[in-house]
Amino acid sequence: MDLEKIRADFPILSREVNGKPLVYLDNGASAQKPQVVIDAVTNAYSHEYANVHRGLHTLSNIATEKYEAVRGIIARFLGVADEDQIILNSGTTEGINMVAYGWAMPRMEPGDEIILSVMEHHANIVPWHFLRERQGVVLKWVDVDATGALDPQKVIDAIGPKTKLIAVTQLSNVLGTKVDVKAICDAAREMGVPVLVDGSQGAVHMPVDVEDIGCDFYAITGHKLYGPSGSGAIYVHQDRLAEMQPFMGGGDMIREVHKDGITYNSPPMKFEAGTPGIVQTIGFGVALEYMMSVGMEAIAAHEDALSAYAVKRLTGLNWLNLQGTTVDKAAIFSFTLDGAAHAHDISTILDKKGVAVRAGHHCAGPLMDHLGVTATCRASFGMYNTESEVDTLIDALELAHELFA
C-alpha cells in the first residue's frame, strides 16, 4: 500500500482540529470519504440526477444504469456469483429489520429461539426484541470469554430444537474481536438453522466471501466502507429469498396494482420499495471499487500491523484498562482510565489534541453490562491511519491521565 497516496485521496485528513492535525480514529462509527466518492456524488447531483427505473429519458437512463451497476459491484466485493441476491438499502439497520419483518416474523411462534452473541450492535438486537415482545420469541445469549473472544462452539452448542435463527457479528464494533462465522455457518447448516451475519465491521477490515462463509444473510453499510451515509445492502441466499415476504410496500416492488389485488416484482426488486438513495448508492459503488483497487488483502495486512503496534503502545500504559485482549482482533480498541474520569471527559481532552475517538456505550448495551462498565472510549482505525497517529493518541492519553490523576 502506498499509504501517503491513500491519505492524499482523503481531503479531510489534511485539515486541523483545535489547531492540531486531525487524527481521525472514529472509523468504527463512520469512515471518511475519498475524493473519488465525493466527485461521484457531486457529479451525480450536478449533471446526471433523475429518478431511476421510471423514466425513458436520457438522465433517467444514466442514473438507472449507474445505480443498478452497483449491485454487481457489491456482489463482486462480497464474492457473490448472482447479483440478484443483493438487495440495496440504506444500511445494515434496514437490512436486519428486513429479515426480521420479512423472513423471521411470518415463521416464528412463541417459544422459538434466536441465538445472539453478547457483542451484538443494537441494530442486531432491537429487531429481535420486537419479535420477543410481539410474538413471544426467546433470545438466547452467548457470552465472550475474559479476553473478549467468542468461541464458535459455544454458539453451536446453544442450538436446540426451537432454534430458528442465529444472528451474529463478524467483527465486534467495540472489542475488535473477529468471529469465526464460517465455523458457525457450517455447523448450523447441518442442523438446518439459518445464520444472519452482521458484516458492518467485518467487511471493512478483511476480505469477505459470503458463499465460502455459507451464511443465509450478510448485511453491510456504506458509510463505514468509505461511502456515503444512507447506502448499504444485504445479501440473501436464494433459498431465503424465496421464503421472504416484502418488508415495505410501494413503487418498484410491484408489477401490477389493482383494486382487488397486486402482483409483486421479482427479487431483488420485490424488496426495494420506493425511491431509493440513488446518489448515495452510486457513491457507495465507487467507494467499494476504490477499496478493491487498493486491495482488501493489502488493507487487512496494513491494519493488522497497525493493530499490533497499537496493542504494544496501549498495553504499555499501566493506568489504561483495555477491553478485549484476544489476539485475533482488528484495529478497534475500547478502553477506560483508572480513576473517576468518564469516557466523555477523556474524549474531550483527546479532541483538544486533534484526536477524534468515540465515547459512550457504542450501541452495545449487553456487552457494556457484560464488561461491567457504563461507557468506554473507542479508537478505531482505517486504511489511512498510521503508526505516528497511534503515537499521537498515546501522547493525548498521557495528557488526559495527568489531568484526571
Q: What is the CATH number for 332? A: 3.90.1150.10
Query: Rounded to an integer, what distance in angstroms lies between the CA atom of residue 68 and that of residue 112?
Result: 37
92: CB partners within 8 A, 6+ apart: 121, 123, 124, 198, 199, 200, 219, 220, 221, 232, 234
| pTM for the structure as a whole | 0.97
Q: Which residues pair with 263 in a beta bridge?
A: 256
- Of 325, 327, 311, 321, nearest to 377 (Cα)? 321
Query: Rounded to an integer, what distance in angstroms lies between the CA atom of residue 218 and that of residue 363?
Result: 19
277 and 381 both lie in a single domain = no
Q: Please say which residue of 235, 265, 293 terminates a domain.
A: 293
22 and 78 both lie in a single domain = no
307 and 343 both lie in a single domain = yes
Active-site hit among 185, 215, 363, 377: 363
Residue entry with cell 441465538: 115
Residues of the chain predicted below pLDDT 70: none
How many Cβ atoms from other residues are within 10 Å of residue 122's Cβ? 15
State pLDDT tens for residues 221-253.
Answer: 999 999 999 999 999 999 999 999 999 999 999
171 and 316 both lie in a single domain = no
Give the CATH number, domain containing residue 69: 3.40.640.10
- Of 365, 344, 355, 203, nearest to 287 (Cα)? 203
- Angle between helical axes of 387-404 and 343-352 (0-180°, round to 10): 120
Q: Is 215 a catalytic residue?
A: no
Q: Please say which residue of 267, 293, 319 terminates a domain.
A: 293
CB 67 within 8 A of CB 52: yes
301 and 281 both lie in a single domain = no
24 and 100 both lie in a single domain = no
179 and 230 both lie in a single domain = yes
328 and 379 both lie in a single domain = yes
Cβ-count burial 308-321 (b if 16+ within 10 Å, e if not): eebbeebeebeebe
Residue 285: its pLDDT value, please? 98
CA distances from 256 to 51, 249, 270 (A): 20, 12, 12
Q: Please say which residue of 293, 321, 342 terminates a domain.
A: 293
Domain limits at 308?
3-30+296-404
Query: Rounded to an integer, what distance in angstroms lies between the CA atom of residue 144 and that of residue 171?
Result: 13
How many Cβ atoms from other residues are within 10 Å of residue 296's Cβ? 17
47 and 60 both lie in a single domain = yes
Residue 361: its pLDDT value, please? 96
Query: Rounded to an integer, what distance in angstroms lies between the CA atom of residue 84 and that of residue 80?
Result: 9
C-alpha dihedral (101, 103, 107, 111), degrees to nearest 10: -70
Indicate the number of domains in the chain: 2
339 and 376 both lie in a single domain = yes
77 and 119 both lie in a single domain = yes
CB 18 within 8 A of CB 350: no
369 and 324 both lie in a single domain = yes
Residue 340: its pLDDT value, please? 72
Residue entry with cell 417459544: 111
Query: Rounded to an integer, what distance in angstroms lies between the CA atom of residue 68 and that of residue 70?
Result: 5
CB 355 within 8 A of CB 392: yes
